Every structure is written in C-alpha cells, then in structure tokens.
Amino acid sequence: MLWYVRRIYRSREAVLTDNRVERRLAAILAADVAGYSRLTGLDEEGTHVRLRERLRGLADPKISEHRGKVVKHTGDGVLAEFGSVVDAVRCAIEVQRGMAEQNATMPQAKRIEFRIGIHVGDIIVDDNDIFGDGVNIAARLEGIAEPGGVCISDDAQRQVRGKVNFAFEDMGPQNLKNIVEPMRAWRLRMNASGSAAAPNEPPVGSTQALALPDKPSIAVLPFENMSGDPEQDYFADGMVEDIITGLSRSKSLFVIARNSSFTYKGKAVDIKQVGRELGVRYVLEGSVRKAGNRVRITGQLINAETANHIWADRYDSTLEDIFDLQDRVTTSVIGAIAPQLEWSEIARAQRKPTESLQAYDYYLRALASFYRFTPEANIEALKLTRTANNLDPGYAAPFALGATCYVQRWGFGWNIADAEDETEARRLTRRALELGKDDPLVLALAGQALGLFIGEVQEGSALLARAISLDPNLAAARFWNGYVQLYLGDGDAAIEQFQIGLRMSPLDPRIYLAQNGIAAAHFSAGRYEDGSLWAKIAVQQNPNFVAAHHTLIACHAMAGRVEEARQAWAVARQIDPTQRLSTVLSKRYRLRRSKDIIQRYAEAFRIVGMPE
C-alpha cells in the first residue's frame, strides 16, 4: 500500500507551491485490510466485493454517524477526518464490532479484518484531500495495529482519557517508519466479540502477549470434572488450587494465580492464546474423576509458545492418599519444566495439610462459596469453615479462611465491623497462626485480617512480608500488602505491590481491589487526575464496590470536579444509604494514614454532602 508515501510528496509540494494552503487540527482515522494481498491471491473478485460491502455498508455510515468525513477510499481501506478524537475512537470501535459480527458467519479464509490507526494533529487540506505528518502518523499507527484492533497515538489518548469507557494498553515508544522520533502508542483492548473492552474487563481474548518472566512460568487451568456430577466441581477446583499452591512455593517458578487461571473455567481454550494473555511459557491442563473412594487425575503439560506436549500422565489413587496424589502431579510438573530445580524446592511443595479428608472436603466447599463474592455465599463459607474446624481442630487453613470471611463482608460493605466480628476474626487469626506459622497462605490471610480489618497494621505487614518471602507467586498477598503499605503511608511501595500482583494475576476477578488501591495511592500523593482514572476503572470493574466509589469521590472533589464527585456520591449512596463520614473514616476503611490525608478525605466527602 503506497497511498501514504505518495501523500508525503504531495504535501511537501503543496507547501512549496502555495503559501496559502489551508491547515487545521483534526483527528485522523486510517484503516486498511490486514493480509489484503493474501486474500486477493485466494479470491480476487470475492475479496473486492466483500471489501466494498464493508466500506459502503459499515465503515462509511459509521463515520458519518459519528460526525466524521470520508476523505477517500485507499484501495484496501479508508481515510477519514473527525473534528473530535472521541468521535473517531467511538467510530473505530463500532466499525470493528460490526466487522467481527459479520466475520462470525464467514469461513476463516473469507474474513476481512481492518486495522485502524488514529492520531490527532495538524493537517494540510488540498482539493478535498488531506496530507501532512498528522495523516502519515495515523497511517503508521494503523500499520502496527493488530487485525481487528485499534492503535492510537499518545496525543489522541490524552484527549480521550476519562471520556470514553474503553481500556487502553500502553505499547510504549514505537519506531514508526519515516517518523524521526519514537512515538508512544496505545492499543485499544478488544475482547473476543470484537467489542472494545471496558477498563474494568480482564483482557480475555486479547492477542497482546505479556512479556515472559525471566524464569520458567506456568498457568494451571481448571481441570475438567469427569465425575458426571456437577456438584463435584468444587472437588476438581480444589485439586487444581492445591496443585497451584504446591507449584507456587518453588521460588524457581513464576506461577499465575488461581483467580486468573479460573477465568477460563468452562471455556474451550487456545493454549497459545492462554500463554499470550497470561504471559507464561507452560500451561498445565487435565481432568479429575471421582467415583466412590477412587480418584483419577490426568494431566498434560504444554509449551504455550509451540502447543507441543512436554509431558502427560495419569494418576490413580484412593481418597485416603489424595494429598500424595497431588504431590505426585506437582513433582512431575516441576521435574518436567525445570530438571535443574533443587529437590528441596520439590520437597517444599509436598505438604499434607490435614489428616481428616472430611475436613479437607468442607474446606474446599468453603473456598467455592467464598469465591462467589455474595453476602449469602459469605455466610455459607463461614459455616463450612466452622464445620472443617470442628472435624480437625489442628487444620490451619479453615481458621484463616474463616477470619477472611469477616474481612470480606466488611470490605464489601455487607456488614459494618462491630466488636463481636473483630473479636472472632482475631481469635480465628491467632489460632491459624499457631497451627500454620510456616504456611504462606495462612500467613497472608492472617496478615490481611490483622493489617486491614483488626487494625494491627505493623504485625499484618510483617506477616505479609514473610508470606511473600515463602511464596513469591502469591498474588493475593501482593494485593493485601499493597493496602497495608497504604495504611503505613508508603504509597509508592503500595503501587509496586499492586502492580506485581496484577502481573501475577492479570485476569483476576478481584482486579478492582488493586485498581482501587492504586487510585488511593495516587490520592495520597496528591495526583488526583491519576487517582480519578484508576478509581473509575475500579468502579467499572465492580460497580458495587463502595470503597472504589469513595476513592472516586475524593479524587474528583479534590481535583475541583465537584459535579462529577457529586454524581459519584449519588451512585455510592444508592448502594449503601447508611454511609456516614465517621463510619467511612474510622470503621469501614480503617484509614491509618497521616492526618493530612484523612483531612483531605473528610473535606472531599463534606463537599459532596456525605452526612457526618
């Protein structure tokens, strides 16, 4: 495609021959067909007809609908001009969504996919055509966009920031052909349906690859329940969770957190895509069959870059030997991935949590309920942990999970913390620590409860640091440690922990916790615009998470965006009409920061009219 090369020379000629040439600032959208030469080679006439239909029936009407102007068709694409970059981005999204819908009914070989680039800059207008660097940059950005995707310049991203509910991913500085200086670019994240992912959506279906860690990396996908009984899903999920835990204790591995791996539950997956989305080299998948007292686990380890099988095996056992079965799977995976690992690391993964299989079963049921994130499921999870505790009073994990149930109901605003809840959470936490002082998950859960809920921040920080030392792959510990660091007044350390956790669990359904934490850290540092952006993302991820609404209110109010702050308060008040300033500052969120930060929160909440 040479149209943009010819335009460079025409624009230069225009400047040299006519000093009265018209210039204006505009948003430019450039689109062309990915793999057009290949498509025409397979079916020249059919490709031409389908492209014409897409342009006239979809792209051109959408451009007009969003107040844009089609400058010209470029052989295999279109060049358009907009007065607003927001309109240009919205148009691009609707075009790509429409393309994806039409492609869904087409054979792969006949699908036409656009790549779209958008830039805002100065253009030259001559004879109903446009030229100049602004046009050339849009064309170059289109060239680095993914098929079906949209790429925009840093200038364009700054103008749409906070004005569109689409998720952008920073591509960093890009060397664009014939553009002297590297330019920062942003990729608009698309989901599998061709729609733009909102900032709250995990990037499932994105083709962008995360950088691989500098050590062997693995994701364990949910195992298929082959028992023929959907009620046994919790058992299969529990097997996977324990295998993840065993693997993650090896400091020589980078292990994706359970919450991100489980976003693929019940879905047909492309292993290469999983590797790209999670940023791992290896993927473990398998199945669990439980029949009476017998259990069979099958597993296969796959290189996500090549989709080649590295190892596969089948394990049969009785329920009495279930932990030995998990150990055998874990040891086999570690041995297959990194034969050079120390056997001490493998031995560390072999840890039998309880002698009572019945207690373990109730613990797995409690976990399944806890992860449903509803008030009713929270109550059920707490009851199940108590049953597990009664069956095996020496089993640490249910005590720790029970304490975390109290943290969950408080954090989501399902129940205001009272003395009775605090007393019981403290009792469960202390008992868990007595029994599991070297178990990183127990330490992390205890650190969360003490540091965030009970208010013993320094001890909570120490417990979380030890948990991370024992299990560097424990993403939840990073999230909770981020909040503890916020409570201790170190916003930069908090952001670092949140970002590490996000990399370990990029598809985590609880990602809004980290997003809100980053927003709160920016608020603490006085970076209100950055805080507003992150808080808005967190609110979109979970509209019922009141803490994120509070952060959004505070950032908007202190940035002088009072009307937006009041709108955020109206939404928060609908979620929980009982909110009071004294409760928010002293009980629900336990803000143990400097006096200045607390005063700023109080000022912001008073601006929007929160009752005292």
Of 72-81, 179-188, 338-347, give the lowest mean pLDDT range. Answer: 338-347
141 and 178 housed in the same domain: yes
Q: pLDDT band at residue 587, thresholds of 50, 70 and 90?
A: low
Q: Domain holding 80: CATH number?
A: 3.30.70.1230
pLDDT more than 90, % of the chain:
17
Length of the chain measured in residues: 612
Q: pLDDT, tens digit, for every residue of 388-441?
A: 999 999 988 899 999 999 988 887 777 766 788 889 999 999 999 999 888 888
Reported pTM: 0.56
- Picking from 283-287, 326-330, 476-480, which range would have the lowest pLDDT averaged per residue? 326-330
* pLDDT value at 57 more than 80: yes
Domain end point (choices 349, 370, 388): 349
Domain boundary among 334, 349, 364: 349
Domain contains 521: yes
The DSSP call for residue 453 is I
Beta bridge partners of 300: 285, 312
Answer yes or no: do 263 and 124 share one domain. Answer: no
- Looking up residue 259, the CATH number of its domain turns out to be 3.40.50.10610
Let me know if residue 62 belongs to a domain.
yes
Q: Are residues 297 and 359 in the same domain?
A: no
pLDDT at 586 over 70: no
CATH number where 371 lies: 1.25.40.10
- Are 383 and 437 within one domain? yes
Q: Where do we find the tokens 């996919």?
A: 113
Q: Quick check: is 198 in a domain?
A: no
- Please, what is the average pLDDT of the chain? 80
Range of the domain at 542: 493-612
CA gap 386, 376 in Å, rounded: 16
Residues 245 and 279 in one domain: yes
* Alpha-helical segments (H) within 436-474: 440-448, 457-470
- Are 230 and 325 within one domain? yes
Q: What is the pLDDT of residue 64?
A: 92
Q: Mean pLDDT lowest for which of 340-354, 503-517, 584-598?
A: 340-354
177 and 227 fall within a common domain: no
Q: Cβ(495)–Cβ(528) under 8 Å? A: no
Q: Return the minimum-mean-pLDDT range out of 82-96, 194-208, 238-252, 330-344.
A: 194-208
The whole-angstrom separation of Cα 91 and Cα 35 is 22
Count how many domains the chain has: 4
The verdict on 45 and 175 lying in the same domain is yes
434 or 110: which carries more pLDDT confidence?
434
- Mean pLDDT, to the nearest integer, of 244-252? 75
396 is a domain residue? yes
Q: pLDDT at position 331, please? A: 66
Q: Inform me whether the pLDDT recorded for 345 exceeds 90.
A: no
Residue 578 domain flag: yes
Asked if residue 197 belongs to a domain, the reply is no
- The larger pLDDT score, comparing residue 137 to residue 575, is at 137
Q: What is the pLDDT of residues 456-512, one digit of tens each?
A: 888 999 999 999 888 887 888 899 999 998 888 888 899 989 988 888 887 777 888
Residue range 102-113: mean pLDDT, rounded? 78
Question: Does the pLDDT value for residue 197 go beyond 70?
Answer: no
pLDDT score of 207: 41
pLDDT for residue 161 = 75
> Residue 335 and residue 201: Cα distance in Å, rounded?
35
DSSP 30-80: EEEETTHHHHHHH-HHHHHHHHHHHIIIIIHHHHHHTTEEEEEE-SSEEEE
- Does one domain contain both 278 and 320? yes
Among the residue ranges 304-318, 338-352, 468-482, the one predicted with the least confidence is: 338-352
Position 483 in a domain: no
Q: What is the pLDDT of residue 433?
A: 92
- Tell me the backbone φ, ψ of residue 266, rounded to 5 degrees: 80, 10
pLDDT at 229 over 90: no
Q: What is the mean pLDDT of residues 222-244?
A: 79
Where does the pLDDT of residue 179 fall: very low under 50, low under 70, confident under 90, or very high at 90 and above? confident
Token digits of residue 368: 């399944």
Lowest-confidence segment of 127-141, 179-193, 434-448, 550-564 by average pLDDT: 179-193
Domain presence at residue 204: no
Whether residue 176 contacts residue 137, with contact meaning beta carbons closer than 8 Å, is answered with yes
State the greatest distance between any 2 C-alpha atoms of the chain, in Å, as a whole number: 90
Task: Note the pLDDT of residue 201.
Answer: 42
Of 349, 371, 405, the residue at which a domain comes to its end is 349
171 and 227 within one domain = no
On whether the CB atoms of residues 337 and 253 are closer than 8 A, the answer is yes
Residues 252 and 268 in one domain: yes
**274 pLDDT more than 60:** yes
**pLDDT above 80 (res 600):** yes
Please give the full DSSP string across 556-593, using - where no structure is assigned: HHHTT-HHHHHHHHHHHHHH-TT--HHHIIIIIS---S
526 and 399 in a single domain? The answer is: no
